[in-house]
Chain A
């Protein structure tokens, strides 16, 4: 592996990311899957980076999940996206930032479509007027929230309490970065670093002290694939995709997996459980799994936020071994307490995948 080769490619995919004044739209599913992530993003933007991030409760799904599941037509999706833009315009913002990769992909796809087919844009504007009476400006800048964290990764590193160093060995942690398919596979120029060797997460890992693992199935989908998971009969395919990735990365002994998509961490995390139950296989050391983090969670960890405030307790694969490696303190007793201090209940231990026992 020649890192200078990668750097020269990364240079070619420099993406413009707005500096401030973001209109932020949330993901449909992330607040369930990884409830601390979006909250942490807002917290970092406000407390650490002191940026203006605007949120409006009336924004809806972009309908990407329906679009990619073949239940929402493109025309409908475009009109819904047009409405989001209208809300942004009405709020006086022009930098559109999404929490979700599929949304990001859909916005990119729609803007690209409108660019090549202005008549379609006109038609959609008309649909929106007909339906809501709203008009809109297209965003001046479209970024995924991970682009924004990437942009300020050095600031986060500077203000951080921890680095991705194994405190026992002093060596950098080995990190698998997994990019959501819809981030740059459709439009390589829209992603930091392009589609082949995306830099958006790799840049964070580098600057926060870790080493990126380049493993053969790096490009492969996590297995979500919408139809593959949403229809139960197809789930074996979804699972096979994840397994292919785990089999491929396991020889590199990754300390954790970093992701930037709603679906990927969900499946890379939960399927480790399913695989262990179905086949008895685990991919981490000593029967443990490989922890899977969102980039917001990781940024929060670097900044020294309490792991349980980041929502790490809802992960299937326990993150405590990773916290121990980095040296982040945590209170095991508080793991399953709600925000107001009540016991939220504790999951049953899986048959194979080890629960972390803190000594």
Chain B
């Protein structure tokens, strides 16, 4: 029995899984469709809640992939076949690869904010997404409006594409709440004269130090939180935006002009994930993300022996959780290849 494992997806989860598997003595090929590894996390400037530079984390994971991992960037998987020998993975460029086990770590896509037409992304000049804001931070650019002015008031809109039946996503994307709080702080840090208003339905500060970050945003940075989902956004003659929401804490509709709107876009499954799940008859949840065999005890396994899942391909997850999950996957894969029964 060979010890060949193919990891599909070169984001945080895929890289971590590949590194861990290689450490465990496997022969690992990491496939990444882009021309570089790092995934989404490579685009983030600083990470919540500690605001540690994202690059630090990516660098660490990349370093941890020993030279034994064969990284193939620019490789798109066209099909995965399960046969008696194991798996054959076909690529759009080059020969098919075979492996004993395959780890799917294809992650997620950011919600296309244009689908929330009423928010005007792609139509109004001063509506951007949280990912674009992150890019501004990462590139060290100054946050300005479309016509180059320093915004006096910025609105951060939570739950864009999440918890919204109207765009078909009932689920919560988990990380946007704390991302919004982090970015609110960062805007205040960069532009002390700029007021920041966060429009939220709930603030789900689910993990350690998240609530403290929220507290810091209120206490130290004076970020204003208004409980109410944005209903619609309209543009003024000067390209500033009018936000309409209900201030649910007073029970009254509220309208406010802001110079810039940041949409905190959620997670959606990749279309490729759908193709893989159709191909291998994998289970997906109503949210479209892949489901493991058992959410508690076989949370990295699929119904296909030898095929494992890691990270946000199973649904919204933060980087910390993705790393932990990918490491767990690696252990499972090793046990599978060694023919060991995993009792836990």
| A218 near B124: Cβ-Cβ < 8 Å | no
CA distance A217 to B232 in the complex (A): 10
Contacts of B117 in A (CB 8 A): 9, 194-197
A196-B117, A196-B118 are contacts. A2–B124 as well, Cβ < 8 Å?
yes
A8-B114, A9-B117, A194-B117 are contacts. A1–B235 as well, Cβ < 8 Å?
yes
A252 at the A/B interface (Cβ < 8 Å)? yes
User: In the complex, which of the residues A5, A219, A252 contacts B114, with contact meaning CB atoms closer than 8 Å?
Assistant: A5
Interface residues of A in 1-21 (CB under 8 A from B): 1-2, 5-6, 8-9
A214 at the A/B interface (Cβ < 8 Å)? yes
Q: Which of B118, B123, B239 has the most CB of A within 10 A?
A: B123
Smallest Cβ distance from A107 to chain B, in angstroms?
Answer: 23
Interface residues of B in 219-264 (CB under 8 A from A): 232, 234-237, 239, 242
| B235 near A2: Cβ-Cβ < 8 Å | no
B62 at the A/B interface (Cβ < 8 Å)? no
Contacts of A197 in B (CB 8 A): 117, 123
Contacts of B242 in A (CB 8 A): 216
User: In the complex, which of the residues B118, B123, B232, B234 contacts A2, with contact meaning CB atoms closer than 8 Å?
Assistant: B123
CA distance A247 to B82 in the complex (A): 66
A170 at the A/B interface (Cβ < 8 Å)? no
CA distance A214 to B239 in the complex (A): 11
User: In the complex, which of the residues A1, A195, A251, A252 contacts B123, with contact meaning CB atoms closer than 8 Å?
Assistant: A1
CA distance A2 to B121 in the complex (A): 10
Smallest Cβ distance from B315 to chain A, in angstroms?
Answer: 27
| A8 near B122: Cβ-Cβ < 8 Å | yes
| B123 near A217: Cβ-Cβ < 8 Å | no
Smallest Cβ distance from B122 to chain A, in angstroms?
Answer: 4
B109 at the A/B interface (Cβ < 8 Å)? no
A194-B117, A196-B117, A216-B242 are contacts. A5–B122 as well, Cβ < 8 Å?
yes
Interface size class of A (residues with CB under 8 A): 10 to 19
Contacts of B211 in A (CB 8 A): none
| A219 near B234: Cβ-Cβ < 8 Å | yes
A194-B117, A196-B117, A219-B232 are contacts. A6–B237 as well, Cβ < 8 Å?
no
B125 at the A/B interface (Cβ < 8 Å)? yes
Smallest Cβ distance from A198 to chain B, in angstroms?
Answer: 11
Interface residues of A in 196-211 (CB under 8 A from B): 196-197
A9-B114, A197-B117 are contacts. A216–B236 as well, Cβ < 8 Å?
yes
Smallest Cβ distance from B238 to chain A, in angstroms?
Answer: 10
A2-B125, A5-B122 are contacts. A218–B234 as well, Cβ < 8 Å?
yes
CA distance A216 to B122 in the complex (A): 16
When C-beta atoms are compared, the residue in chain A nearest to B123 turns out to be A5
A1-B124, A6-B123 are contacts. A216–B235 as well, Cβ < 8 Å?
yes
When C-beta atoms are compared, the residue in chain B nearest to A214 turns out to be B235
Contacts of A9 in B (CB 8 A): 114, 117, 122-123
When C-beta atoms are compared, the residue in chain B nearest to A2 turns out to be B123
Contacts of A214 in B (CB 8 A): 235
CA distance A214 to B237 in the complex (A): 9
When C-beta atoms are compared, the residue in chain B nearest to A252 turns out to be B237
Mark B207-220 against chain A: 1 for CB-CB distance below 8 A, else 0: 00000000000000
Smallest Cβ distance from A196 to chain B, in angstroms?
Answer: 4
When C-beta atoms are compared, the residue in chain A nearest to B231 turns out to be A219
When C-beta atoms are compared, the residue in chain B nearest to A219 turns out to be B232
Contacts of B114 in A (CB 8 A): 5, 8-9
When C-beta atoms are compared, the residue in chain B nearest to A196 turns out to be B117
| B122 near A1: Cβ-Cβ < 8 Å | no
Interface residues of B in 101-119 (CB under 8 A from A): 114, 117-118
Contacts of A8 in B (CB 8 A): 114, 122
Contacts of A194 in B (CB 8 A): 117
CA distance A251 to B239 in the complex (A): 13
When C-beta atoms are compared, the residue in chain A nearest to B257 turns out to be A216
CA distance A219 to B117 in the complex (A): 12
CA distance A1 to B125 in the complex (A): 5
Contacts of B235 in A (CB 8 A): 1, 214, 216
Smallest Cβ distance from B233 to chain A, in angstroms?
Answer: 9
Contacts of B125 in A (CB 8 A): 1-2
Given contacts A8-B114, A251-B237, 12 further A-B contacts (CB under 8 A): A1-B124, A1-B125, A5-B114, A5-B122, A6-B123, A8-B122, A9-B117, A9-B123, A195-B117, A216-B234, A216-B235, A219-B234
Residues of A within 8 A of B (CB): 1-2, 5-6, 8-9, 194-197, 214-219, 251-252
14 contacting pairs across A/B (C-beta < 8 A): A1-B239, A5-B121, A5-B123, A6-B123, A8-B114, A9-B122, A195-B117, A197-B123, A214-B235, A215-B237, A216-B236, A218-B234, A251-B237, A252-B237
Q: Which 9 A-B pairs have the closest CB atoms?
A: A216-B234, A5-B122, A196-B117, A5-B123, A216-B242, A196-B118, A251-B237, A2-B123, A6-B123
